[in-house]
Amino acid sequence: MDKQHPIFLALSPFIQPDRVGDFSRYFQTFEGGYAYGDVFVGIMVPHRRLVARSNVFSWKENVLETGLKHECHEVRHTALFAVIRRYETEPENRQYWHDFLIANYEGINNWDLVDSCAYTIFGKHAIATGDQSVLHEFLVDDSIWKRRTAVVATLQFIAEGEFEETLAFCPIASLNAPEILQKAIGWALKSLWEKEPELVLQHLEEHFSEGRYTRLIVRTALEKETRDFRAEFIAKFAP
């Protein structure tokens, strides 16, 4: 691991080795986990954000590019926060930073990284430009992280009062979806439920009864309903 990388050096004062075990368990870096082999050194998210804000305009593009591919998870996350900041503060360069992130997306390989940029960059950009082509490409990619990105990006559409994307993307993403992707599908539908509960109930009824949606998706989507309601819904519409 490159401990001389500028982002790693900036993060070094905030390393807490005693947190590595917690991070490794929580983000499943163990054998058989969805992030097997990922490396944590023990830096809390607020410190990652702080370092990104403090250095965002001094780090050159090659630093951000190599940071997004760094072996250390916290370095990748900090580089990502910096790219998001550049996207937000440089409206004239948003297309550039959007494309920059796509070109260096291989290191966006855990749910916290995906969820940091999915709607803040990809969702917002698709709405602003009217171009959903990247989301559609991500939605059918072999990478579960790109597929999760497409689903979570629809949270921005929901915030804008547009619901068709969530209802269209979720069934596609659900095909052979592992749990980490099922949870994202449920999360998106739960967010839509908060605005249009009847619409979501109809959607869940259709796709759950057909066997496309799992119980995990349904339970997550209906998380704010009562336990009895969820149990009755599942019992009634289970395939």
The predicted structure's pLDDT at residue 147: 98
Q: Give residue-wise pLDDT tens across range 64-108.
A: 999 999 999 999 999 999 999 999 999 999 999 999 999 999 999
Average pLDDT, integer, range 223-236: 96
pLDDT band at 1 (very low <50, low <70, confident <90, very high): confident
The predicted structure's pLDDT at residue 116: 97
Backbone angles phi, psi at 117, to 5 degrees: -115, -10
> What is the rounded CA–CA span in Å between residue 98 and residue 118?
11
At 31 the three-state DSSP class reads coil
Evaluate if residue 196 carries a pLDDT over 90. Answer: yes
Burial class from Cβ neighbours inside 10 Å (0-12, 13-18, 19+) for residue 86 reads: buried
Average pLDDT, integer, range 141-152: 97
The predicted structure's pLDDT at residue 150: 98
pLDDT above 70 covers a percentage of the chain that reads 100
Domain extents in the chain: 1-109, 124-239
The predicted structure's pLDDT at residue 120: 96
> What is the rounded CA–CA span in Å between residue 39 and residue 20?
9
The predicted structure's pLDDT at residue 239: 87
